[in-house]
Amino acid sequence: MTEETRIEAIAAREILDSRGRPTVEADVLLAGGALGRASVPSGVSTGRHEAVELRDYGEVRFGGGGVRGAVRNVRQEIGPAVAGRDALDQGGLDAALVELDGTPAKERLGANALLAVSVATARAAAAARGLPPWRHLASGQPVLPLPMVNIISGGLHASGGLPFQDFLVVPVGAGRYSEALEIVYAVRSAAEVILAERGLSTLKADEGGFGPPLEHPEQALDLMDEATRRAGYRPGEEVAFAVDVAASHFAQEKSYELPHLGPLGAPELVRLLEDLTDRYPLVSIEDGLGEDDWEGWALLTHRLSARAQLIGDDLFTTDLARVERGIAEGVANAVLVKMNQIGTLTETIAVIERARSAGYATVVSARSGETEDPFIADLAVATGAGQIKIGSLAQSERLAKYNQLLRIEEELGPDAVFAGAGALGYAV
């Protein structure tokens, strides 16, 4: 450790996320003067196995959703405990944070408190080295990710009535990241025009997608097909589709309760997803079954893994032990990566590395409640994750990440590597 990279002080505060709810922001100051700042997101569609986001439940302010307790933990316990550590030793710092909390789900200090310090330390270390975070973290070839972009929202992200949570486009025909954004912009703009022509709402949901009053998944996919063609692209060739089913949120003890379809068993839900894959250029399905329906997931994987990317989000919750179980049982073929599901940067990177070593695709993801912090863009490039899921091309908290990737593409210049369609977790 050099004197310049010694952690000298840590500060924290309560700020607001994209839904106007409190979240934690931390500053890490190094002895050499380098400063790192990070803020953490929050999800509304959360899995039962995620690390605990500590909130001030029981208080009146913010309806019990404040994070003063988590902020206090950073100031009074985490800061003093890690002061004097070398910011360049990210693994050692994160191990110390996990040990300091001492609980399986990080419920004592809060995963939000731990993650803010973990990422702020990485930023401070990068600043001390005179590097952007993606260069500081990169251990191999930096790769610009293929974006998976929300067009239509349902589930817990909107009130339009669609049971599935997200309907997304994947610009599989793009040769560069910047070209991918151009394609998505054209399709999203066409979708907005179509909705207006039909007298349907163009109001935005949590992640910037449109939340029109549709009832069936086919209606959303048909709309995206029409928007793709109107934008001048060929569905399945230049633009493919993805869905986030978020099945845990309509799962009952022994069935899946989908409006207008009645209760479905896991085999029936798998057949529904298989039918959608037959009828549309559907290349990615996230959380097609519930978070603890391992048997249903095995069936889905058996039926569709050769034809579509099957992403575990609530299933895996960026937890290495759950990912290891998925690998052992041959369940899913891709992992959604959300830092705040696990609580430290080192644990997040370990999940990405293990998933990829087992042949699983990885998708770095934002949350529905985001901040303007663009760190996940740096993370996706540094780790070569291959894919990123941020939300729609709307709202500053989403655009901050998309724009950061544009800056990185510019900095890499002709050496920029774009993951493209080959990043999808199946034989495209």
Alpha-carbon distance of 378 to 384, in angstroms, equals 10
* pLDDT of 205 higher than 90: no
Q: Whose structure tokens read 């593409």? A: 409
**Choosing from 50, 106, 338, 347, which is the catalytic residue?**
338
**Do 221 and 231 touch, CB atoms closer than 8 A?**
no
Architecture of the structural domain at 3-130: 2-Layer Sandwich (3.30)
Distance of CA 66 to the CA centre of its chain: 23
In the chain, residues under CATH classification 3.30.390.10 are 3-130
Burial of 75 (0-12, 13-18, 19+ CB in 10 A): middle
pLDDT digits (tens, 9 = 90+) for 118-127: 999 999 999 9
282-286 and 309-312 strand pairing: parallel
Nearest to residue 70, comparing CAs of 109, 118, 121, 17?
109
Q: What is the pLDDT of residue 162?
A: 86
How crowded is residue 355: how many other Cβ atoms within 10 Å of its Cβ?
28
Q: What is the pLDDT of residue 428?
A: 47
* pLDDT of 147 higher than 90: yes
> Mapping DSSP to helix (H, G, I), strand (E, B) and coil, where does residue 119 land?
helix
Token reading at 14: 């309560």
pLDDT digits (tens, 9 = 90+) for 207-227: 999 999 998 999 999 999 999
**Do 154 and 220 touch, CB atoms closer than 8 A?**
yes
Q: What is the pLDDT of residue 96?
A: 98
401 carries an active-site annotation: no
pLDDT-derived band at 309, boundaries 50, 70, 90: very high
Q: How many helices (H) and strands (E) does the chain have?
A: 14, 14
**Do 117 and 28 touch, CB atoms closer than 8 A?**
yes
Share of the chain above pLDDT 90, in %: 88
pLDDT-derived band at 46, boundaries 50, 70, 90: low
Bridge partner residues of 182 (DSSP): none
Residues 6 or more apart in contact with residue 414 via CB below 8 angstroms: none
pLDDT-derived band at 333, boundaries 50, 70, 90: very high
In terms of pTM, does the model score above 0.75? yes
pLDDT digits (tens, 9 = 90+) for 378-407: 999 999 999 999 999 999 999 999 999 999
For the residues 99-116, what does the mean pLDDT come to?
A: 97
Q: What is the pLDDT of residue 1?
A: 66
Superfamily of domain 146-423: Enolase-like C-terminal domain (3.20.20.120)
**Choosing from 50, 207, 347, 397, which is the catalytic residue?**
207
pLDDT digits (tens, 9 = 90+) for 260-294: 777 999 999 999 999 999 999 999 999 999 999 99
Residue type, 122: A
Alpha-carbon distance of 425 to 428, in angstroms, equals 8
* pLDDT of 335 higher than 70: yes
pLDDT, mean over the chain: 95
Phi-psi region at 275: left, alpha or beta (left = phi > 0; alpha = psi -120 to 50)? alpha
204 carries an active-site annotation: no
How crowded is residue 414: how many other Cβ atoms within 10 Å of its Cβ?
4
